[in-house]
Chains A and B, each alone.
Chain A
Amino acid sequence: DTAVSQTPKYLVTQMGNDKSIKCEQNLGHDTMYWYKQDSKKFLKIMFSYNNKELIINETVPNRFSPKSPDKAHLNLHINSLELGDSAVYFCASSQAAASAAYEQYFGPGTRLTVT
């Protein structure tokens, strides 16, 4: 059973398009995250939700909009895609609110390529 799943695994699109990445966790966790990993392997948190409420919103362009329909799902919608958005996006979940103490379970990642 996959604990944290993401779709799609690969996404190739053109500049200016709008795309969404979906994430689901079946661990019963309260907190979910979106991370961006660039070509240098830097992992940066973008958003964190706890029980469908936004608790961390890092400085990301407002073209990125997370949506959490329930605590098992956290989707990421990106408007007007730009070349610099090309990266691997990871979804993760943890038992409780954002803290390094709670083990995070990561999805397999979505490799987004903007041409």
Chain B
Amino acid sequence: LAKTTQPISMDSYEGQEVNITCSHNNIATNDYITWYQQFPSQGPRFIIQGYKTKVTNEVASLFIPADRKSSTLSLPRVSLSDTAVYYCLVGDSGNTGKLIFGQGTTLQVKP
């Protein structure tokens, strides 16, 4: 089974860049790596996804090395409203169709 590891928590200050890394072994070779954001009392929502190398959208960047055993979510110049829990999501190896969320990283942005 795929196994994911994320830091449990991180602190940052407004205006800083934040990088959250998810380690993931035994992931599906043909599936994407996706990141979600969750605010308190809400369901997770999609932030970004990628297969390899670097992907950038209006809110974040995602870096995936060639071996795809990890991925790093980068949030540029965070604000207080970026305080949330961030999850990586991967597909399990063996193309079982199983999806595995990381444990979640609670990001606390301070003024």
Interface residues of A (CB under 8 A from B): 4, 40-45, 48, 55-56, 58, 90, 92, 97-101, 103-109
Q: Does B97 contact A (CB under 8 A)?
A: yes
The residue in B32, B85, B101 that gathers the most chain A C-beta atoms within 10 A of its C-beta is B101
Question: What is the chain A residue whose CB lies nearest that of B87?
Answer: A43
Question: DSSP class of A's interface residues: helix, strand, loop or mixed?
Answer: loop
Question: What is the chain B residue whose CB lies nearest that of A40?
Answer: B103
0/1 string, B72-98, CB within 8 A of A gives 1: 000000000000010101110000011
Contact B46 A103 (CB under 8 A): yes
In the complex the two chains form, what is the Cα distance from A68 to B103 in whole Å?
A: 28
Q: A43-B101, A45-B98, A45-B99 are in contact. Are A100 and B91 (CB under 8 A)?
A: yes
Minimum CB–CB distance from A91 to chain B (whole Å) comes to 8
In the complex the two chains form, what is the Cα distance from A103 to B75 in whole Å?
A: 19
Which of these, A40, A42, A43, A56, contacts B44 with CB under 8 Å? Answer: A43
In the complex the two chains form, what is the Cα distance from A40 to B36 in whole Å?
A: 17
Question: What is the chain A residue whose CB lies nearest that of B43?
Answer: A106
- Could you list 13 further interchain pairs (A-B, Cβ under 8 angstroms) beyond the known A42-B103, A100-B33, A105-B46? A41-B85, A43-B87, A43-B101, A45-B99, A56-B97, A100-B28, A100-B31, A100-B90, A103-B49, A104-B36, A104-B46, A105-B45, A106-B44
Q: A41-B104, A45-B98 are in contact. Are A99 and B43 (CB under 8 A)?
A: no
Q: Does B41 contact A (CB under 8 A)?
A: yes
